[in-house]
Amino acid sequence: MFIRSTTALAALFLLSAATLAQASDKPSDPQIAHIAYTAGVLDVEAAVQALKKSKNKEILDFAKDMVRDHEAVNKQALDLVKKLNVTPEDNATSKALTKVADEERAKLAKLDGAAFDKAYVDNEVAYHKQVNGALETLLIPSAENAELKSLLETGLKLFQGHEQHAEHVAGMLK
C-alpha cells in the first residue's frame, strides 16, 4: 500500500511538472521558486511527523537532518526572492505536491513503530528521487536567473545526499 502511495506521489509530481512545462514550455522563475520552496516545506512537515512518532534513532537522526537542511535551503530561497524582488507564484505543481503530501501524512499518522518507520523512509527515498529528477530535468534547466539556478544546483547536491542517506536508513530497517 505504501509503495503504491509513494509511486503515486512520484507520478503526480512528474505529471504536474510535465503539465506545467507543456502549459508554458517551461515554468517561470516565480513558479520554480514556489515549487522548490513547497517541496522543502513538505519534507520538513514529514520530518516533524517522524520526530513525533518514531522511536528509532536512525529515523530520528534522519528526520532532524531533513528539518535542518530543508529549513536552511528554504531560508536561502526566501532571502533570494526578497533580494530579487520576486513573488513566488503558486501553480498546479505546488498544489498537487501539497495535496499528495497531506494524504501521505494522513496515511503515516495511522501507523506506529516499525511500520511507520519503514513507510516514512520509503516515502523519503521516493520523494527525493522524484524531486531530484525534477530539479535536474526541469527546474534547473528552466531557471533563467543565475542566482536561482545556482541555489537549485546547490540544493540538488544536498538533496542527492538526502536520497542516499534515506536509502541507507531504509536498508538498515530491513
The number of angstroms, rounded, from the C-alpha of 97 to the middle of its chain's C-alpha atoms is: 9
Q: Supply the Cα-derived Rg of the chain in whole angstroms.
A: 16
CATH number, span 28-173: 1.20.1260.10
Which band of pLDDT confidence, cut at 50, 70 and 90, is reported for residue 3?
Answer: very low
- pLDDT tens, position by position, 75-117: 999 999 999 999 999 999 999 999 999 999 999 999 999 999 9
**DSSP-assigned letter for residue 135:** I
Percent residues over pLDDT 70 in the chain: 86
**CA atoms 123, 41, 157, 87: torsion sign:** positive
- Quick check: 22 pLDDT over 90? no
Question: Quick one: average pLDDT of 12-41?
Answer: 73
At which residue does the C-alpha cell 528539518 appear?
67
Contacts of residue 113, Cβ cutoff 8 Å, sequence gap at least 6 = 55
Domain boundaries, the chain: 28-173
Rounded Cα gap, residues 150 and 140, in angstroms: 8
